[in-house]
Amino acid sequence: MHLLLLGRGKTGSLVADVARRRKHEVRVLGAAENLHASTLSRESLRNIDVVIDFTTPIAVLENIQACVSAGKNMVVGTTGWYGELNRIRELVEKSGTGFLYGPNFSIGINLFFEIARSAAPALQHEYFGQIFERHHAQKKDAPSGTALTLQNVIRDASGAKLEIVSFREGDVVGMHEVVFDSANDTIYLCHDSKSRGGFAEGAVRTAEWLAGKKGFFEFKDVWREL
């Protein structure tokens, strides 16, 4: 496939490496080369099969609008824009393109969501809960998209909305913890990413899955197929 990767950050660079290793042609655009999505015209995207976005909350909405308007399928790993989710869904559905987003393309974190969902009913039995998330100091959004998804998973399973405590420090790849505490015991659940490799592998495999498809998808709904 011919892929366009938006973003030259740490995760984006790994995505490009994984894609090339999987025999795809990859073009990469950084922020300075694509101000306000200026490079994303229908003509410039003519030979692109799927666009993958790992940019910033500020840039991502313009990128999405430009790519979808150009009729290109898109995988978005950038977070911090979910307040516009309904508007983007309508745009994708009207355009007839394929679009898939997710706060985290790691298989492990999606298993973690399922574990948290199973444990969430503890909150109906005199347990108190909190979510803690840690990321590198350069991460723009807080709480993380993964932490917000975790919060929603637990709320849907228990009816309780847990507080999220965020830390931005050093070069932490990503750690998410859920603590359920009661007078009698404490339950600790933790997912600690050792590298960004799992994110990159998942993003590329998602782009392969999305090629030629139409519709609006979330990674949590398709990861088992991968």
The residues annotated with a catalytic role in the active site are 135, 139
Q: Which long-range contacts (CB under 8 A, 24 or more apart) does 113-117 make?
A: 113/149, 113/150, 113/153, 113/220, 115/189, 116/150, 116/153, 116/154, 116/157, 116/178, 116/189, 117/153, 117/154, 117/156, 117/157
| Burial class of residue 174 (count of CB atoms within 10 Å of its CB; 0-12, 13-18, 19+) | buried
3-state secondary structure of 85: helix
Helical axes 197-210 vs 107-119, angle rounded to 10°? 100
Helix (H, G, I), strand (E, B) or coil at 117: helix
CA neighbor of 148 nearest in space, from 127, 169, 162? 162
Task: Name the nearest CA neighbour of 73 among 103, 53, 97, 102.
Answer: 97
